[in-house]
Structure 1
């Protein structure tokens, strides 16, 4: 069995962060979201993984390499235009050959991975197998209808959903999906929909199964999703401050993980919190569900339920920062000089809340 991970999206909902970095490389709990998908696939025993890349492909290649750090073989497959999930399968056809394969959306996170579902798919000898979860807003997803564990209908973003079971972006297929994709036409939005290919398989007598996943699932396509995914991962983290430099006046409470060469001075950290390498926290408060990446510096400030990416500096901020997603090498400070003014250099789609 092979796998493909779809990483060609532009990440428009995560701008301005995605103007300078692929959305699949944004860190969650200090690890790029794409790493979680690669690890989940590796844990299934799959060695050959194709990454479907678009205009941010060079960034992804530089970060991922050939897959050796995970013990897998990474191939890169270019999708110049995002013309649908089924179109990505078309682009990967030479890589996939006639093998069964797992298709995984690169910005997905699953608490329990995918290994048990692959086993169930093989045992049931399905031609296609989809993972589902119950959602409150089914009109925003591809929705499946089930009868006795088999999928009888799938619809992309229905106006009147017949169920609340959403396809979560993890699919297993055999070679028959290629015939299905060749038999469908682009949707009204000009894309080859994977839901249409699955429905073709159902209508033509192929065996399509499904499983409602256990544990949480997150699509990390929006800032609020990243913050929530960060919270969910930190919930399961264990305490480890063995390599941190913590002075006697600081308090480290709860599940806190701190990297190498990090200094905590006269500060309070209330977990769950993860802090990377070479971070400095001085006269500050770091509250629950916060991730600080490598090289971050926090001075005389308070922050919680936030993600701060590497080399950012925050200093002398009045009031507590909360629900923040802050990119690389950002400087946030409170001016101590007169006249007291606001001074901003902000990119497109930025968001600033002021006291």
Structure 2
């Protein structure tokens, strides 16, 4: 089995944090989003992963030089070969996938890296394909699938009338990746675009018309990492899951001076807490210092200095310095408020 992860988007909705770090590499509870995504997929497919292929954007779009090394290490930790491809121009979901055409073969899972999920189903690898879906209250804001006798019969983008409440979350399984590659090649060769882009939904429709049977993979929880508030909430949910699983995410190298940690929290190595109360639902990256502060429900990255703060629902980037009176903030890397 292969996993292919298109992640070339610039993450403009999560700025300023994505000005220096690609959104899929934003750290949630101690791990990059994309690492948690492929780990969750691995648990669902329940079989060995041969390769993980990542499609990133060019350096000019904000992808730093160490991106490839980071992604190859993520693949290695899951015992898989890592491959990294570059999508130089944003021309749609199918085009992004085609940038990894050398890896698009055999059984594979395609996962667009702006979401996390929790599910208790196991993938039926004998199906022609599967589409991860989540029941939602307002399907008009999503692409949805329609079912008959357990199989997907239609894909509808942002329906104006109710046809289904099963939203497509952006993760797909294909038994025959070669066939998917051939269909994308056909789109590109014949310049078949929608809104000037090559769309994966057109490939799905063609495969279905040719007799492929797609089944749904229903997830229990769908966590968004598109904007600041949902990302902070995703951090909260991930911390809850880790705590319920009995995982302690507080490093033994944390220095506590007249301070308290209220679980669940992630506290990285060499963090110093002085006269401070942390938690619940707080992540703090390594080499950070927090003094004379109270912090709840917040996501704080590495090498951060925070003093005299009362923070809730905050997101603070790497190497930032904050000494302030604000409570709900979104601070990017290398920012100073003092």
Confirm or deny a common fold (TM above 0.5): yes
Which residue number in structure 2 is paired with residue 343 of structure 1? none
> Does 2:204 match 1:165?
no
Q: Is the 8 A contact 1:275 1:293 kept in 2?
A: yes
Task: Give the SS at the match of 2:13.
Answer: helix
- Please report how far the alpha carbon of residue 259 of structure 1 lies from its aligned counterpart in structure 2 after TM superposition: 0.7
Which residue number in structure 1 is paired with residue 142 of structure 2? 141
- Please report how far the alpha carbon of residue 269 of structure 1 lies from its aligned counterpart in structure 2 after TM superposition: 2.0
Query: Of residues 55, 71, 85 in structure 2, which corresponds to 1:77?
Result: 85
- Please report how far the alpha carbon of residue 15 of structure 1 lies from its aligned counterpart in structure 2 after TM superposition: 0.6
Separation in 2 of the partners of 1:160 and 1:71?
A: 45
Separation in 2 of the partners of 1:206 and 1:257?
A: 44
Structure 1 residues 100 and 284, CA, compared in 2 at 3 Å: closer, same or farther?
Answer: same
- Which stretch has the larger CA shift, 279-288 or 99-108? 99-108
Q: Is the 8 A contact 1:6 1:104 kept in 2?
A: yes
Question: 1:258-277 to 2 correspondence within 5 Å?
Answer: 258-277=250-269
Structure 1 residues 158 and 106, CA, compared in 2 at 3 Å: closer, same or farther?
Answer: same
Q: Is the 8 A contact 1:227 1:306 kept in 2?
A: yes
RMSD over aligned CA atoms reads 2.6
Gaps of 5+ in 1: 241-253, 336-345
> What do the CA deviations read for 1:163-218 (whole angstroms, capped 9, x no partner)?
11111111011133234334552112x222212221222233222222322x2121
State the structure with bigger RCO (CA 8 A, min sep 6), 1 or 2: 2
Which residue number in structure 2 is paired with residue 340 of structure 1? none
> What do the CA deviations read for 1:285-305 (whole angstroms, capped 9, x no partner)?
112111111011111111100
- Which stretch has the larger CA shift, 19-28 or 51-60? 51-60
| Aligned residue pairs, count | 316
- Please report how far the alpha carbon of residue 96 of structure 1 lies from its aligned counterpart in structure 2 after TM superposition: 2.1
- Please report how far the alpha carbon of residue 232 of structure 1 lies from its aligned counterpart in structure 2 after TM superposition: 1.1
> Does 2:193 match 1:186?
yes
Give the TM-score normalised by structure 2. Answer: 0.85
Question: 1:217-228 to 2 correspondence within 5 Å?
Answer: 217-228=222-233
Which residue number in structure 2 is paired with residue 47 of structure 1? 50
Which residue number in structure 1 is paired with residue 328 of structure 2? none
Structure 1 residues 93 and 231, CA, compared in 2 at 3 Å: closer, same or farther?
Answer: same
- Please report how far the alpha carbon of residue 316 of structure 1 lies from its aligned counterpart in structure 2 after TM superposition: 1.6
Question: 1:190-205 to 2 correspondence within 5 Å?
Answer: 190-205=196-211
Q: Is the 8 A contact 1:149 1:211 kept in 2?
A: no
Task: Give the SS at the match of 1:281.
Answer: strand
Question: 1:222-301 to 2 correspondence within 5 Å?
Answer: 222-238=227-243, 257-301=249-293
- Which stretch has the larger CA shift, 23-32 or 204-213? 204-213
Separation in 2 of the partners of 1:168 and 1:109?
A: 9
> Does 2:100 match 1:95?
no
Which residue number in structure 2 is paired with residue 106 of structure 1? 113
Separation in 1 of the partners of 2:50 and 2:248?
A: 33
- Please report how far the alpha carbon of residue 306 of structure 1 lies from its aligned counterpart in structure 2 after TM superposition: 0.3
> What do the CA deviations read for 1:290-325 (whole angstroms, capped 9, x no partner)?
1111011111111100000001111123xx311001
